[in-house]
Amino acid sequence: MEILAFKGLVLGFIYSVAMVSGTVWCAQVTVKRGFVAGLAVCFGIALAQAVLCGMALLALYGLLLMPFDLGFALRILATVVFIYMAYKMFTAPKAKTLKSKEADTYPSRLFYITFILSITMPMRLGGYLSFSIAAGLPFHGFSGVAAPWIAIAAGCGSMIWFTYIACLAALFGHRVPEHITLRSINKLNFLSGVVFALVAFITMLPLVAGF
């Protein structure tokens, strides 16, 4: 159980690094409204990621209950999703400003807005499903009982990343020129694309080795 939870923590952290839009939003809110507002965004995203991860894991567990082996099909599915996500990252538009009118509201409202926006992105559900497959969860003692704990750990991993971003924005958002901050954030698109492409290759590797 501890190993599965650790995988969930790492999964949530790595996937959150790839959520460039979430990183930009967290930085925008923190710079404009302060650290408490930024923290509200962090909680909103993390809670949504925990829910999405839990849904993906339960769907995966349901597939594993079927009376035939889906290992090959699951790896193919995950690989296709990762290739698509890599393409989206490589072609994603760059963030152009840290200013946002939507950030001008109180923390509880920011939490609600962020949670709704995050949980209504279906591609993230597919991403968590694919990352779970790539991490080998269906093949190493995974069960429905473990799903909630893995999901909570994924939410914690997401919280770690976005709290880090909120801290950086609170400390340096008004000191570092905006174009330098944006240049650093926009580099995450390319980095995320490389990571998704690499994970796609790793996910396919057992299938290629089997031939």
The whole-number pLDDT of residue 84 equals 92
The whole-number pLDDT of residue 121 equals 84
Distance in angstroms (rounded) separating the CA atoms of residues 123 and 78: 12
The whole-number pLDDT of residue 40 equals 94
Residue in 78, 60, 59, 50 with CA at minimum distance from that of residue 149: 50
Distance in angstroms (rounded) separating the CA atoms of residues 68 and 4: 24
The whole-number pLDDT of residue 182 equals 80
Non-local (6+) Cβ contacts of 160 within 8 A are 13
Distance in angstroms (rounded) separating the CA atoms of residues 196 and 191: 9
Non-local (6+) Cβ contacts of 140 within 8 A are 3, 4
| Identity of the amino acid at 113 | I
173 in Cβ contact with 31 (< 8 Å): yes
Q: Which pTM value belongs to this model?
A: 0.85
The whole-number pLDDT of residue 1 equals 63
The whole-number pLDDT of residue 207 equals 66
107 in Cβ contact with 37 (< 8 Å): yes
Distance in angstroms (rounded) separating the CA atoms of residues 182 and 187: 9
The whole-number pLDDT of residue 138 equals 61
Q: What is the full per-residue pLDDT of the chain (211 aa) written as tens digits?
A: 677 778 889 889 988 988 888 888 898 899 888 899 999 999 999 999 999 998 888 888 777 777 777 778 888 888 999 999 999 889 888 877 777 666 667 888 999 999 999 998 878 888 888 888 887 766 555 666 778 888 899 999 999 999 999 999 898 877 778 778 788 888 888 988 998 899 888 888 776 665 4
The 10 Å CB-count burial string (b at 16+, else e) for 181-210 is: bbeebbebbeebbebbbebbeebbeeeeee
The whole-number pLDDT of residue 18 equals 84
Distance in angstroms (rounded) separating the CA atoms of residues 195 and 36: 31
CB atoms within 10 A of CB 71: 14
